[in-house]
Amino acid sequence: MEIILASKSPRRVELLQQFNIKFRVQVANVPEEQRDSPKQTAISNASAKARAVLELFPKSLIIGADTIVVVDQEILGKPRDREDAAKMLRLLSGRKHHVITGVALVTEKVQRTFYEETAVFFRTLADYEIRTYLNTGEPFDKAGAYAIQGIGGAFVESISGCYYNVVGLPIPRLLLELRDFGIDVFA
């Protein structure tokens, strides 16, 4: 069965490649919407992406994913601009936040969804660190305005949960779920 990743995220592509999963990418152009809770939002958006791509490739297994950052019940998506990114980083500074990734695995006959949640603790950031980080350009296409696998990882004091989830795809859980579809990267 062909696997299609319904995402334009280069981080998700890299993660799947790292684990030797054979797939191709088809971007799903669906609007992201907020639901009643952050978990519902992530799962709903992941499902919408996967279902949209399934219409184009009905004989395939579609992987949809949506990652959001939550602090004080406020969902932080991708920053709109430099000012928005700076605001997000100041909000995360010296605090704990949660990264939630919703995942949808969809075929013609089956739709399976799940989410992973990871707590991330940021150290206190100085204004000059935020300015310097913004100048790298790294924060602008990432939920919460940072990349744990990049320069932004220097701001992370600790995490509790799945590291890969913070990058954008909870690989350990995904690999287990894929086994139910006959895909085992360790076989």
- What would the DSSP string read from start to end of 106-139? E-SS-EEEEEEEEEEEEPPPPHHHHHHHHHHSGG
Q: Given 36, 66, 81, 127, which residue is catalytic? A: 66
What predicted TM-score, i.e. pTM, was given to this entire model? Answer: 0.93
Residue 42 is predicted with a pLDDT of 96
Tell me if the domain spanning 3-179 has CATH number 3.30.390.50: no
Return the bridge partners of 69, or none: 76, 99
Of 130, 148, 144, 138, the residue nearest 86 (C-alpha): 130
Residue 44 has pLDDT above 90, yes or no: yes
Residue 146 is predicted with a pLDDT of 97
Query: Is 81 one of the annotated active-site residues of the chain?
Result: no
pLDDT tens digits, 116-142: 999 999 999 999 999 999 999 999 999
Residue 187 has pLDDT above 90, yes or no: no
pLDDT tens digits, 159-183: 999 999 999 999 999 999 999 999 9
Residue type, 143: A
Instruction: Judge whether 6 and 66 are in contact, CB under 8 Å.
Output: no
Domain ranges of the chain: 3-179
Residue 45 makes CB contacts below 8 A (sequence gap 6+) with 30, 32, 33, 64, 66, 102
Q: Give the number of C-alpha atoms closer than 13 A to the C-alpha of residue 14, restricted to the C-beta side.
A: 7
pLDDT tens digits, 81-94: 999 999 999 999 99
Residues in the chain: 187
Q: What gap in Å lies between CA 71 and CA 38, rounded to an integer? A: 10
Of 144, 153, 99, the residue nearest 123 (C-alpha): 153
| Residue range 52-60: mean pLDDT, rounded | 97
Instruction: Judge whether 65 and 48 are in contact, CB under 8 Å.
Output: no
Say what percent of the chain tops pLDDT 90: 91
